[in-house]
Amino acid sequence: MRYEYLTGNIAIAEASITSGLRFYAGYPITPTSDIFEYLARELPKYGGHVIQFEDEIASINAVIGASWACSKAMTATSGPGFSLMLEALSLAVITETPLVVAYVMRTGPSTGVPTRSGQYDVLQSTYGFHGGLVIPVLAPSTPQEAYDLTIKAFNVSEKLRTPVVLLSDAVIAHTYGKVAMREKGEVEVVERSKPSVPPSEYRPYDPVDGLVPPMACFGDGYGVLVESLTHDERGYYSPRTDSQRKLMWRLYRKIAESAGQIFEYSSLYLDSCDVALVSYGSTALSAQVATKVLRERGVRACSVKFKTLFPVYEEGLAKLLEGVEKVFVVENNTGLYYRELRGVLKDREVVSVPLIDLDVPPPQEVVEVVSKWL
Amino acid sequence: MRIEILIAGRGGQGILLLGHILGAAIAKYTNLHVLGSEIYAAETRGGDSRVDLVVADREEEADFIKVVRADIALFMHQLQLDAYESLVKDGALVFIDRSNVTSVPRRNWRVYIEPYTDIAEKEVGSGRVANVVALGHLVKTTSIVSPEAVEKAIAETVPKEWVDLNIKAFRYFLAR
């Protein structure tokens, strides 16, 4: 392990190399481009490839192809680019293609304020693509978390054969911090499971005894079908209700039933807490500082920072916040993740603290809003 | 221990480089934790340049990326001194470039005022290293990080042909 002083964006790039990234395709966009530039310089040293395509649509499709050729593959983008990637993300979901999208949020809608921050795309990151399923979304709030969660994003994508979104924002992108960098062997790096049967018996979408089918890649000697139509275990088109039910529920369950394994959070003062400030991403920094100010004023406040946002770990969340009377959801948007949480935490008061700010919201503003609702 | 450091000046004075060297020295060569952010104007010279660092011995104390009440401040220009004075708390250690500042507010600070730019020009050989002259003064006075760590960070950050000049600038106050 060694320590470096990195921005959130460079931490993502470094961690992707640690995770075994071998293919990056992208189209430049603020505030994400330095991931691209850094990898263009560094990844070839590890035998990897970096390609700029004509747009984000081509980029994500190339990433899907690279993953099927057994390369760990990633792209990085921001709001307008992610919108273009949505159709192909749906393809990645039904073809169960492991890949990582680093989504560095900026102020929207549309081109908004391209260089500044916000958390407007938290729901789009998982619900944006068509088909009604959820993809895992991880949300760092510091360069160290950007590093650690990027590795986790690759591991989850390989383990569950799914696209994973690493949801950062413009503040974290250019925040510097001390980052503990892991060397090979110091951190778990998951590789996708490969078929154990001979090629003649291999069925590419047969989960065998679990929910995730072993994945043969092009060149492994197996017959591989990358099918976007509703398919059976062989990968053959099957326009039947029973096939659709079977496929949809397996794709749903493999993510939903992993919620507890994926879920990660950190907290301050949770063991003596009446009022929880729940937050994520760069806004979690404001919530942490606000929590300390509130405690100095005698409020039994705690802060809970979610490092993973989807799938929502419903039982876990309810249990985590068991003794808490009131939950404030602090975020830099109109109160989007609050809508997820109020359904999960039905038995107590959940208050939205939507602070729209081009930068990290000032902790004092969090204190003022929360104090009004105590 | 938790310390907020504010470094501010005009674009072109090397504020971001100074902040990066200090942050990297702390992150890489001490047990301290650090988070930092930069603000800079679109123009190459003349606009606001500012680096905020939050330094702490425990990771959970390095909890924010902006200065709320600075314990240590370095102002390289009058405009930023006037603009950010309110972010500096009473009792703070405040370093000021006398070459670019004529009026220091009456505050309960421990003020160290030296002509960093003049020193860089006349004693070190280039006004461009005024930032690192000031950094040497700050490091010597505050002992927040060892001079050796800063010199390593300088060597890793600055283009090769400028390392010796920057080390010379950094040692100006340390040698006194």
Ramachandran area for residue A299 (φ above 0: left; ψ -120 to 50: alpha; else beta): beta
| Domain presence at residue A203 | no
Which of the residues A178, A268, A289, A364 would you substitute to probe the B interface, choosing the one with the greatest number of B C-beta atoms within 10 Å?
Answer: A178
What's the pLDDT score for residue A249? 98
Residue B142 pLDDT level (bands cut at 50, 70, 90) = very high
pLDDT, mean of each 10-residue run, chain A (374 residues): 97 98 98 97 98 98 97 98 98 98 97 94 98 97 98 98 98 97 93 96 95 95 96 97 98 98 97 98 97 98 98 95 96 98 92 96 97 95
Residue B33, Cα to own-chain centre: how many angstroms? 17
Same domain? For A175 and A271 the reply is no
Least Cα distance to A23 among A86, A55, A56, A65 occurs for A65
Q: Are residues B64 and A142, on separate chains, in Cβ contact within 8 Å?
A: no
| Domain closes at, from A181, A212, A241 | A181
- 3-class DSSP state of A237: strand
Q: Are residues B38 and A174, on separate chains, in Cβ contact within 8 Å?
A: yes
Least Cα distance to A204 among A216, A196, A194 occurs for A216
Which of the residues A1, A3, A4, A5 would you substitute to probe the B interface, choosing the one with the greatest number of B C-beta atoms within 10 Å?
Answer: A5
**Based on the structure, what is the number of domains in chain A?**
2
Quick check: B38 and B19 in contact, CB under 8 A? yes
Instruction: Please check the confidence at residue B44 and state whether its pLDDT lies above 90.
Output: no
Residue B121, Cα to own-chain centre: how many angstroms? 18
| Domain closes at, from A181, A199, A216 | A181
Size (chain A), residues: 374
| Domain presence at residue A186 | no
Interval B127-141 mean pLDDT: 98
| Domain presence at residue A253 | no
Residue A318 CB burial class (10 angstroms; 0-12, 13-18, ≥19):
middle
Quick check: B166 and B124 in contact, CB under 8 A? no
Where does B57-87 show beta strands of DSSP type E?
70-75
Same domain? For A25 and A166 the reply is yes
Residue A235, Cα to own-chain centre: how many angstroms? 27
Same domain? For A168 and A275 the reply is no
Least Cα distance to A284 among A306, A317, A253, A264 occurs for A306
Instruction: Please check the confidence at residue B165 and state whether its pLDDT lies above 80.
Output: yes
Q: Interface pTM (ipTM) of the complex?
A: 0.94
pLDDT tens-digit readout, B105-115: 999 999 999 99
**Residue of chain B whose Cα is closest to the Cα of A178:** B27
**Rounded to whole angstroms, how far apart are CA atoms A164 and A365?**
33
> A169 contacts in B (CB within 8 Å)?
none
Q: Are residues A360 and B23, on separate chains, in Cβ contact within 8 Å?
A: no
Instruction: Please check the confidence at residue B43 and state whether its pLDDT lies above 80.
Output: no
What's the pLDDT score for residue B41? 76
Assign a CATH topology to domain B2-174.
Pyruvate-ferredoxin Oxidoreductase; domain 3 (3.40.920)
- Looking at B2-86, list the stretches that DSSP marks H as alpha helix, in order from N- to C-terminal side: 15-29, 78-84
Least Cα distance to A170 among A358, A361, A309, A6 occurs for A358
**Rounded to whole angstroms, how far apart are CA atoms B11 and B46?**
5
Residue A68 CB burial class (10 angstroms; 0-12, 13-18, ≥19):
buried
Interval B68-85 mean pLDDT: 97
Supply the CATH number for residue A338's domain: 3.40.50.920
**Which amino acid is it at A292?**
K
Q: What angle do CA A88, A93, A97 make, to 5 degrees?
A: 90
Both structure tokens of A52: 């700029």
Quick check: A22 and A71 in contact, CB under 8 A? yes
Interval B136-161 mean pLDDT: 98
Supply the CATH number for residue A61's domain: 3.40.50.970
Same domain? For A132 and A32 the reply is yes
Question: Widest CA span of chain A, in angstroms?
Answer: 70
| Domain presence at residue A353 | yes
What's the pLDDT score for residue B47? 85
**Beta strands A72-77; B2-10: pairing state:** unpaired
Same domain? For A47 and A175 the reply is yes
Quick check: A161 and A213 in contact, CB under 8 A? yes
> B62 contacts in A (CB within 8 Å)?
177-178
What's the pLDDT score for residue B46? 75
Structural domain spans, chain B: 2-174
What's the pLDDT score for residue A363? 96
Beta-carbon contacts of A190 under 8 Å, excluding residues fewer than 6 positions away, are A154, A155, A156, A158, A159
What's the pLDDT score for residue B28? 98
Q: In the predicted model, what is the mean pLDDT of chain B? A: 96
Which residues span the domain enclosing A275?
A: 267-372
Q: Does the CB of A190 have a partner CB in chain B at under 8 Å?
A: no
* Rg of the Cα atoms in chain A: 21
Both structure tokens of A124: 């789009």
Ramachandran area for residue A165 (φ above 0: left; ψ -120 to 50: alpha; else beta): beta
What's the pLDDT score for residue B116? 98
Beta-carbon contacts of A121 under 8 Å, excluding residues fewer than 6 positions away, are A79, A82, A103, A105, A108, A128, A167
| Domain closes at, from A125, A160, A181 | A181
Taking the whole predicted model, whether its pTM rises above 0.90 is answered as: yes
What's the pLDDT score for residue B39? 87
Quick check: A230 and A247 in contact, CB under 8 A? yes
Q: Is the dihedral of CA B70, B73, B78, B80 positive or negative?
A: negative
> B24 contacts in A (CB within 8 Å)?
5
**Rounded to whole angstroms, how far apart are CA atoms A83 and A174?**
23
Counts of helices then strands in chain A (DSSP H, E): 13, 14
Same domain? For A174 and A275 the reply is no
| Domain presence at residue A341 | yes
